[in-house]
Every structure is written in C-alpha cells, then in structure tokens.
C-alpha cells in the first residue's frame, strides 16, 4: 500500500501562497518599504490607515497577505535547504522550523488584525 | 565469476550476502553555482525569503497601528534606516522575480486548449500580468487616497 502523504495539502498552501505573493507583495513592499521611507510618495496618515484597517475586507486582505505567503516561504525554503545545502538528514527539524514559523506568523497576524 | 560468492568447505555450501553498490556520484554543496539555470532556480527559491521579509515588515506595521499614532511614527522612522531601505530594494528585485517566474510558469503547469489546439503561452500568462497591474493599482489608490 502506498504511504499516506500530506504533500498535496502543503503543496496547495504553497501554490496559493505563491499566487498571493506574486499579486500582492510587490505593491506592499514598494509603498511601505521604499516609496514612503524615501518620500517619493506622501506617506498616509495614521488616521487614514486606521480607517482602512477597520474595514473587514481590508482585514481579510491583510490576513491573506500575511498568512499564505509564509506557507509559500516554508515550502520553498524547506526544499532549498534540503537540495541546496544537502541537509536531508535534518528533515524533521527543518520541517518544524519552517511550518512552525508560518503558523506563528499566521497567529500573530490574526491576533493583531482581530484586536486592532 | 560465480565461484567468488560461493565457497564450498567441507561439503557445506555457504553463501556470502550480496552487497549491491549504489551508483551515487558525489555532488558538491555548491552544485547550483556552476550553471545559470541552476543558479536561477536557487535564486527563484530564495525569493521566498524576501517575501517573508515583507510579511514581517507588514506585521510590524500592523503592530504599530494597533498601538498608537506615536508607534506608527516610530515605525516610519525605523523604515527610513538606510540598511532597511537597501534590504527592501534588494527584496523588490527578488519579489518581482518571483512574480514574473510564477506567472510565466502557469502556461506550462496549466496548458489551455481551445478547439484542441494549445493557446500560445503569452496568451495564458497575459491575464496574470493584467490582474497584477489592476490589483497593484487599486491598492496604491486606496492607500494614497
């Protein structure tokens, strides 16, 4: 009998995260990481951002933006460590660190967005 | 020579276990540095690290917003650190690299057929780029409004 594998589930998270990262992350990074700090664009005020974050749809957007790309990272980083650095013997530890990190980030995002 | 594996002593036949030798060529840890295709593969995989960096920065933004206007001002001040701006510029290259490689992969992963003929890859990838432009434009409009 073939061994049961959860690979399909993690792959689904990986590919969903890949789509979200491809679509949403560049704009997020460009605005908050480059354009506002370098004053290329006028940074939004605290009140304006808060009025956005209070909208339920924006919270869902931010939750998706934070959570799924982390699972995307976990999958890719895990295999990069296995293949790139050839550390297949640490499989269990790497798995826990990568997916543990993604779950932790998801929990933090959920907590922040729930209590903001 | 079959006699090698089979010793006959005092009329008793003993077999020595057969040890197959696996063909395992030695691969260096730096196998991906030699060829551009391998290097591109590893760089594409490493782009996920920079995606994670952006998520962490976003979490810090949310934490500051949740706390107070002063915390938001402090966040903005921290993001102005030249080292962080440098990291973010590098990150932008990697993140856009991810976007482009991801969209261009879609036609290979999901070939679309119309009347039995495969659509050109450009036509399958193009809607992703349009969606990217529209979503990015909408987010910018919403934030900058």
DSSP string, B54-95: HHHHHHHHHHHHHH-HHHHHHHHHHHT-HHHHHHHHHHHHHH
Averaged over B130-145, what is the pLDDT? 96
Residue A35 resides in a domain = no
pLDDT at A74: 97
Residues 6+ apart with CB under 8 A from A44: A36, B143, B144
Cα(A110)–Cα(B60) distance, rounded to whole angstroms? 13
Which domain, by its residues, includes A78?
A: 49-116
We report the CATH number of the domain holding residue B46 as: 1.20.1300.10
* Amino acid A54: pLDDT: 95
Neighbouring C-beta atoms of residue B29, cutoff 10 Å: 10
Which burial class, exposed, middle or buried, applies to A57 when counting CB atoms under 10 A from its CB (0-12, 13-18, 19+)?
exposed
Residue A36 has pLDDT above 80, yes or no: yes
* Residue with tokens 């119309």, as numbered in its chain: B114
Nearest Cβ partner for B132 among A23, A62, A101? A23
User: How many structural domains compose chain B?
Assistant: 1
pLDDT at residue B113 is higher than 90: no
The angle at the Cα of B99, spanning B122 to A57, to the nearest 5 degrees, equals 110
A62, A113 Cβ separation under 8 angstroms: yes
**Could you identify the residue written with the tokens 């931010």?**
A62
Q: How many residues does chain A have?
A: 116
Name the pLDDT band for A21 (thresholds 50, 70, 90): very high
Q: How many CB pairs under 8 A join A and B?
A: 152
- Report the alpha-carbon distance of residue B133 to residue A15 in Å, rounded: 20
Give pLDDT tens digits for B18-58: 777 777 778 888 888 888 999 999 999 999 999 999 999 99
Provide the pLDDT for residue A1: 47
pLDDT over 70 at B81, yes or no? yes
What is the rounded CA–CA span in Å between residue A29 and residue B51? 9
Residue owning tokens 């020579």: B1
Identify which of A26, A44, A59 has the alpha carbon closest to the alpha carbon of residue B145: A44
3-state secondary structure of B114: strand
Confirm if B64 and B72 have CB atoms less than 8 A apart. Answer: yes
- Residue B65 reports pLDDT greater than 90: yes
Distance between CA atoms of residues A58 and B106, nearest Å: 27
Put simply, the answer to whether A36 touches B66 (Cβ < 8 Å) is no
**Lowest-pLDDT choice from A3-7, A77-81, B12-16, B61-65:** B12-16
Chain A residues with CB-CB distance to B55 below 8 A: 25, 65-66, 69-70, 73, 105
What is the separation of C-alpha A45 from the centre of its chain, rounded to a whole number of angstroms? 25
Residue B11's pLDDT band (cuts 50, 70, 90): low
Could you give the angle at which helices B69-79 and A46-53 cross, rounded to 10 degrees?
Answer: 110
Residue B118 has pLDDT above 80, yes or no: yes
Nearest Cα neighbor of B51 from A113, A91, A98, A74 is A74
Q: How many domains does chain A have?
A: 1
| Average pLDDT value for residue range B89-114 | 91
Partners of residue A23 in chain B, C-beta under 8 Å: 99, 131-132, 135-136
Contact call for A84 and B42, based on CB within 8 A: yes
Residue A100 lies in a domain: yes
Chain A residues closer than 8 Å to B139 by CB: 24, 27-28, 31
State the sign of the Cα–Cα–Cα–Cα dihedral B44, B49, B53, B59.
positive
Domain extent at residue B57: 23-129
Residues of A in contact with B104 (CB under 8 A): none
Q: Where does the pLDDT of residue B10 fall: very low under 50, low under 70, confident under 90, or very high at 90 and above?
A: low
Quick one: pLDDT at residue B120?
84
Q: Give phi and psi for B117, each to the nearest 5.
A: -105, 140
In a domain, B135, yes or no: no
Q: Are B79 and B71 in contact (CB under 8 A)?
A: no
pLDDT at B2 over 70: no
**Segment among A83-87, A99-103, B12-16, B112-116 with least mean pLDDT:** B12-16
Average pLDDT, chain B: 88
Inter-chain contact B58–A115, Cβ cutoff 8 Å? no
Task: Say whether pLDDT at B4 is over 60.
Answer: no
The answer to the question of residue A111 being in a domain is yes
A80 or A29, which is more confident: A29
Tell me whether residue A12 is in a domain.
no
């Amino acid at each position: 009998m073939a061994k049961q594998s959860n690979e399909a589930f993690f792959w689904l998270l990986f590919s969903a995260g890949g789509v979200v990262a491809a679509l949403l992350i560049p704009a997020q990074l460009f605005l908050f990481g480059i354009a506002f700090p370098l004053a290329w664009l006028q940074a939004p005020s605290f009140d304006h951002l808060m009025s956005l974050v209070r909208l339920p749809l924006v919270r869902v957007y931010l939750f998706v933006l934070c959570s799924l790309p982390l699972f995307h990272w976990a999958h890719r980083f895990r295999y990069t460590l296995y293949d790139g650095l050839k550390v297949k013997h640490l499989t269990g530890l790497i798995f826990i660190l990568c997916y543990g990190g993604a779950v932790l980030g998801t929990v933090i995002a959920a907590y922040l967005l729930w209590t903001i | 020579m079959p006699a090698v594996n089979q010793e006959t002593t005092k009329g008793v036949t003993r077999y020595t276990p057969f040890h197959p030798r696996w063909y395992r060529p030695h691969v260096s840890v730096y196998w991906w540095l030699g060829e551009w295709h391998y290097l591109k593969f590893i760089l594409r995989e490493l782009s996920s690290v920079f995606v994670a960096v952006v998520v962490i920065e976003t979490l810090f933004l949310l934490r500051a917003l949740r706390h107070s206007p002063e915390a938001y001002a402090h966040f903005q001040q921290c993001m102005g650190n030249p080292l962080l701006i440098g990291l973010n510029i590098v990150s932008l290259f990697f993140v856009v690299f991810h976007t482009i490689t991801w969209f261009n992969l879609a036609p290979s992963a999901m070939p679309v057929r119309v009347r039995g003929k495969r659509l050109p890859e450009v036509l399958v990838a193009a809607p992703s780029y349009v969606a990217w432009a529209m979503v990015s434009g909408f987010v910018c409009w919403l934030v900058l409004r």
